[in-house]
Structure 1
Amino acid sequence: MGNIQSLPDDGQWSSKISMEVMEKYLRPTTEYSLKILRQYFERYRLFVKHNPLLVSEIESALYWISYLLATTRFHNSRIISELLSSCSSLLTLFDDSLLRRSYGLSSTNQQNTKSTIYAFHLILQFIEYVQVFVELTAVQLYGRYGKWLVISIIEIIKASIRLLLLFYYQQGLTRRQYLTPLNRLHEFERFQMKHKFQPQQQQQTDSSSPRSSVDEAIVIPDDDEEVIIPDDDNIVHHNNLEPDETQLFRLKSSGRIIRNIGQAPPKEKRTWLTPQQQQRLRRLLQKNHRSSPTVTQLNQRRLIGELLHILRPVIHLTTGAIVGGVEDHWTPYMVSLGLDVISLRLLQGSNFYSSNDTNLFGLINCNDDKDNGVDMDVDHIWNWSERLEIQRRYLSLLMYLLRSPFYDQYTKQRLLRLISLFANYIPLFGRLCRPLIRVLPEWQQIYFYVWN
């Protein structure tokens, strides 16, 4: 009976000892490990901050190592190569995030973007970087059916997030590069200049001495301080594009807003633009802002075109599941090609895009309503990143020449014959082309997707 009564005491005693061990050894060890990790992370952040170009070289070297491994023949070389390639891309994404925080660019980069939208873009970018590695791993572990199951899950997740961004958050055109890479050289030079000349500017401000022309030439202005507009061969500088309300008045008969001559600014500060033109100019400059361009809101026609582009991978995979194959049947191939062509036609309708869109002052000076039957409103014009995305989609139509089944029946023999001709008759091309001939069938099955 005494032993039975002592059992609870032994349990309490053992739990007490475990708590003492945790308090005495485990918790201090964990806190010390976290402290060491924070110190190493801070050292790495400072290294990236002061050596962004060296970090870029390391990332590029890691990527080229993955490319060299892809041409070798040892076991699992393809999976290792894709792992290194994914790590290189993720490292670039992580280092860009550190540099934005170190250079104070986080608020600028996300001034018109909610944190939720940024998180969705980050998820999509992460999926793009690791998708091929996940697919190859699925093939290695679960075979062909596991590969298509993983691909279907990934594409459904991507389509769901894109639809949410399109309809709920009104993010407009979907881009392949969800997060714009940081221009490290430019931002590093700006950081060095600000760090170097900020004490001089502070001293000049404290002493209230007039700033010399040399200082004005050295200081780098922010994007919102000065706007440079190309006008044929001349460059006009506008430091103040928004006139004071006291300089304007509205005509009673027409309601048109014009300037008050008596309160006009000095000649050297005049822009010689009407208030309507100034407003249009501000919208156009914000539309093509270097770091945070304004998103073009899609009308019904463009919205349908973008919807077809987002749903195309899912429709292609669904069609392949219905007919019993994706790579061997023409039906999924033709459905995907047709959706791409229709989507681009809807996005690039003649009613909303004109060859005169590159004429800056033609846009500014056009009427507020219509110009020769074509809507020239700034809101209907793609910004620079959206124009690049449209051009990329047009070029991606050429990839259908390298996708099955068209590649297997028409392109394969002609392409291999052309590469062999270069390898046999052009000096030094043999060392480059023969490894390409060996790995081309595998690359065609892995990279030349119809759904991606």
Structure 2
Amino acid sequence: MANCVNFTLNNLLTSYKKWIVANPHLLSDIEATVRCLSYFSFGQLRNSSLAVELIYSMPNLIVLCNDLLMYSSKCKDLKIPQFESKIKIWLTVVEYTEILLEVSAEKLWGAKGKWLIIVVIQLFKTILRLLSIHVYKERMTKSPATPPLNREKFNKAVNSIQSKEGFVLKRSGTVIRSIKYSAPIEKRTWTALESKMNITMDLTPKDQESEKNQEKICKLAESLYVTKPLLHLGCMYITSKKQWPPWLLSFIIDIVSLNMFNRCPMALFNKEEKEELVRRRLSLLLYILRSPFYDKYSRVKINELLDALSTSVPFAKLLTNAVKKNLPYMQSMYFYMWSR
């Protein structure tokens, strides 16, 4: 019986893999629809936090699973770092479900259970991120650690690999010409294909030392950034959630970390790392939505702005009323200082 069930499940999984590979655009449309439904349900189910977080987490997990299945089915030779790293995949799953786990723990075990889960989750995330930085030499961690796959670029890369005239040896990087794609013998050039390995320029000892120092600064800045949640929780345990010291501590850590990154030349960072730095600078604006700043200053101003928009902008009342209703819940659930 068990073998029959396993056989059926394997067949279903294989069929599903073939379907998502053959219909990437339709798959993206379905995922977008599910995500929109989750946003719609937020306004309808805000009194049931467990249902809200479950519905909100599911679309993200579905997208992640589909990306992994597409990657494993279509082209295993295409190296995409975030899908090759189990640490990043685990981090992504935890990031998508951490608030759901917090709410579930509070329902089951009360406030003490919730705070225990929060500490365990943040400790787990911090350890994995520090491993990524110091063991796997990742300069900057991202959130989510495994971003959604760009299906269009992925398909182009796969098509280009499938149509290339040679293949790359894993250890040496040497490109070997494929017989299948070879030209007729009278038209062959008999020259070696271009190697895909990166050619590194010779650096002087002074340049190498400078680069090592910059890497150390980046590691220190990122280590400080990823330990911020634990430092914030520790400070909040000493004072309280509504006091200023935890808020100020987190804000100072963010500023110091960004300033340390600014000391490094931008040429050191790739495109994704530069985008992450921009995201972190913009995320400083979220401090106005975090307690106690929100409770003492922002809440009144935001409500006044929403009221002004509802009276001065046509058809804006429906949207502003929805924001006013949902903002207290969102502020209390999503704007923790330990959320990234």
| TM-score of the two chains, using structure 2 as the length reference | 0.83
Residue number among 4, 12, 26 corresponding to 1:40 in the alignment: 12
Confirm or deny that 1:397 pairs with 2:284: yes
* Residues 66 and 82 in structure 1, CA contact (< 8 A), matched pair in contact too: no
Q: Which residue of 1 aligns with 2:247?
A: 333
1:153 deviates by: 1.1
Q: Which residue of 2 aligns with 1:148?
A: 115
- Segment drifting more, 437-446 vs 158-167: 158-167
**SS state at 2:79 partner:** helix
Confirm or deny that 1:409 pairs with 2:296: yes
1:47 deviates by: 0.5
Distance 2:214 2:106 in 1: 39
Confirm or deny that 1:318 pairs with 2:234: yes
Higher relative contact order (CA 8 A, sep 6+): 2
Q: Which runs of 5+ in 2 are unaligned?
A: 166-177, 203-211
Q: Which residue of 2 aligns with 1:289?
A: none
Report percent identity of matched pairs.
26
Q: What is the letter of the counterpart of residue 62 of structure 2?
A: L
**SS state at 1:142 partner:** helix
* Residues 59 and 88 in structure 1, CA contact (< 8 A), matched pair in contact too: yes
Q: Which residue of 2 aligns with 1:15?
A: none
**SS state at 2:44 partner:** coil
Distance 1:167 1:347 in 2: 17
Matches within 5 A, 1:40-439: 40-73=12-45, 76=48, 78-110=49-81, 118-189=85-156, 191=158, 205=182, 207-208=184-185, 210=187, 279-280=200-201, 299-323=215-239, 325-326=240-241, 328-349=242-263, 352-353=264-265, 357=267, 381-439=268-326
* Residues 309 and 339 in structure 1, CA contact (< 8 A), matched pair in contact too: yes
Cα deviation, 1:427-451, whole Å, max 9, x if unaligned, reads: 1111111111111111101111211
- Residues 203, 393 of structure 1: CA spacing in aligned structure 2 closer, same or farther, 3 A cutoff? closer
Cα deviation, 1:358-384, whole Å, max 9, x if unaligned, reads: xxxxxxxxxxxxxxxxxxxxxxx1111
Cα deviation, 1:36-78, whole Å, max 9, x if unaligned, reads: 11111111001001011111111111111111111115752x3
* Residues 46 and 326 in structure 2, CA contact (< 8 A), matched pair in contact too: no
- Residues 119, 279 of structure 1: CA spacing in aligned structure 2 closer, same or farther, 3 A cutoff? closer
- Residues 36, 398 of structure 1: CA spacing in aligned structure 2 closer, same or farther, 3 A cutoff? same
* Residues 312 and 336 in structure 1, CA contact (< 8 A), matched pair in contact too: yes
Q: Which residue of 1 aligns with 2:174?
A: none
Distance 1:186 1:74 in 2: 37
- Residues 141, 204 of structure 1: CA spacing in aligned structure 2 closer, same or farther, 3 A cutoff? closer
* Residues 172 and 298 in structure 1, CA contact (< 8 A), matched pair in contact too: no
1:305 deviates by: 1.6
Q: What is the letter of the counterpart of residue 84 of structure 1?
A: I
**SS state at 1:99 partner:** helix
Distance 1:42 1:122 in 2: 22
* Residues 45 and 52 in structure 2, CA contact (< 8 A), matched pair in contact too: no
Cα deviation, 1:164-207, whole Å, max 9, x if unaligned, reads: 22223322222223224322123335556777999xx9887475
* Residues 78 and 158 in structure 2, CA contact (< 8 A), matched pair in contact too: no
The RMSD of aligned alpha carbons is: 2.9
Distance 2:290 2:61 in 1: 27
Distance 1:128 1:299 in 2: 27
- Residues 75, 339 of structure 1: CA spacing in aligned structure 2 closer, same or farther, 3 A cutoff? closer
- Residues 174, 205 of structure 1: CA spacing in aligned structure 2 closer, same or farther, 3 A cutoff? closer
Q: Which residue of 1 aligns with 2:336?
A: 449
Compare CA radii of gyration and give the structure with the larger one: 1
* Residues 66 and 80 in structure 1, CA contact (< 8 A), matched pair in contact too: no
Q: What is the letter of the counterpart of residue 37 of structure 2?
A: I
Distance 1:124 1:166 in 2: 14
Q: Which runs of 5+ in 1 are unaligned?
A: 1-28, 212-224, 226-238, 243-277, 282-295, 358-380
- Residues 106, 407 of structure 1: CA spacing in aligned structure 2 closer, same or farther, 3 A cutoff? farther
Q: Which residue of 2 aligns with 1:12?
A: none
**SS state at 1:108 partner:** coil
1:339 deviates by: 1.0
| TM-score of the two chains, using structure 1 as the length reference | 0.63
Distance 2:86 2:255 in 1: 31
Distance 2:160 2:218 in 1: 43
Q: What is the letter of the counterpart of residue 99 of structure 2?
A: V
Distance 1:391 1:317 in 2: 25
Cα deviation, 1:69-116, whole Å, max 9, x if unaligned, reads: 11115752x322321221211111111111112221455224xx896x
